[in-house]
Amino acid sequence: MIAAVSAFAPAKVNLALHVLGRRDDGYHLLDSLVVFAATGDMVHAAPAETLALRLAGPFAAALAGEPDNLALRAARTFAAARGVAPRALLTLDKHLPVASGIGGGSADAAAALRALARLWRVAAADRALALTLGADVPVCLAGRPARMGGIGEALSPLPALPGCGLVLVNPGVAVATNSVFRARGGAFSAPLDPSAAGWADAAALAADLARWRNDLEAPAVALAPAVGTALTALRERPEVLLARMSGSGATCFGLCASPAAAQTAAARMARPGWWVWGGGLAEAA
């Protein structure tokens, strides 16, 4: 019997995010370029008589009051789909801020699915099952740079990414996704048009990204001015080639020429109440 398995849940970063439209059921149609940073949560799964979740890590307290964590819902959904009893002790080692626009809950659910497939010795979860848990879960389950479309189900690989670094800054505020979407005004955006040839270096990637935006950034800044403060701080750093908000916020990122440059920027940006990280991209899951 397998004693225990672990799966990494890396932070998801939306390098660009356009809102293309809205379906009759209320779901928005998106076009986004997604990468994963080399920081995140860890999910451990061990045999147990029932299904239970244990929280650990610096952001565990932020989840303590949740009646039903997404990792637990992922486990129940996966067990039902595979016809197995939902028995496991999940330990979520929470290192990413909660409700922060970098896919923490979705990444945790995807990591739980990967870990439980190994623990229960069943076929891995597929994209359709992942989508029932949330729009970001399919891309987090894939765990590699992707262009994400539709409501999250349409994934295609990105061209090879150049060497680069990311500095992530969360100003210590949570922004509700639904509120940000409701606050978004104006017309819907055109699709992205990334170069099929890829990018020679981080500067070329930054120049391409500058042609697009995150359509949710302006409404998030209006709802939480601290997001604007974080963006200004990033843009003042000489190491940062481009700064933007990720997802629906409040975490913002700075694209740098290298992981070392991102680490330097992060070290200079520490402030009380802020979560700051700098480094490179995660390896593919």
- Mean pLDDT of the region 139-154: 96
The answer to whether the peptide bond before residue 250 is cis (omega within 30 degrees of 0) is: yes
Cα–Cα nearest to 113, from 75, 73, 155: 75
Which of 67-76, 175-184, 192-201, 209-218: highest mean pLDDT?
Answer: 209-218
Per-residue pLDDT, averaged over 257-285, amounts to 95
Of the given ranges (17-21, 65-69, 115-119), which has the lowest mean pLDDT? 65-69
pLDDT at 9 over 80: yes
- Catalytic residue (choose from 41, 136, 208, 215): 136
Backbone dihedral angles phi then psi of residue 79, each to the nearest 5 degrees: -60, -45
Of the chain, the percentage scoring pLDDT greater than 70 comes to 99
CA distance 163 to 161: 7
pLDDT tens per residue across span 213-258: 999 999 999 999 999 999 999 999 999 999 999 999 999 999 999 9
Query: 140 by DSSP, 3-state: which?
Result: helix
- Per the rule left: phi > 0, alpha: psi between -120 and 50, beta: everything else, 252 is beta
Whether residue 157 is predicted with pLDDT greater than 90 in this model: the reply is: yes
- The shares of helix, strand and coil residues in the chain, as percent rounded to the nearest 5, are 30, 30, 40
pLDDT of res. 110: 98
pLDDT in tens, 61-88: 989 877 679 999 999 999 999 999 999 9
Structure token pair of residue 36: 């994963």
Domains of the chain: 5-155 (3.30.230.10), 160-279 (3.30.70.890)
Indicate if the pLDDT at residue 154 is higher than 80. Answer: yes
Q: pLDDT tens digit string along 33-51?
A: 999 999 999 999 999 999 9
Active site residue 94: no
pTM: 0.95
What's the CA gap between 20 and 13, in Å, rounded? 19
User: Positive or negative, the Cα torsion across 146, 220, 128, 31?
Assistant: negative
pLDDT classification of 196: cutoffs 50, 70, 90: confident
Exactly one of 12, 41, 94, 215 is catalytic; which is it?
12
Q: How far is the CA of 170 from the CAs of 34, 43, 63, 162, 165, in angstroms? A: 18, 22, 17, 25, 17
Neighbour-count burial for 92-108, b at 16+ CB within 10 Å, e otherwise: bbbbbbebbbbbbbbbb
Question: What pLDDT is recorded for position 240?
Answer: 98
12 catalytic? Reply is yes
Would you say 64 and 43 are in contact if contact means Cβ atoms under 8 Å apart? no
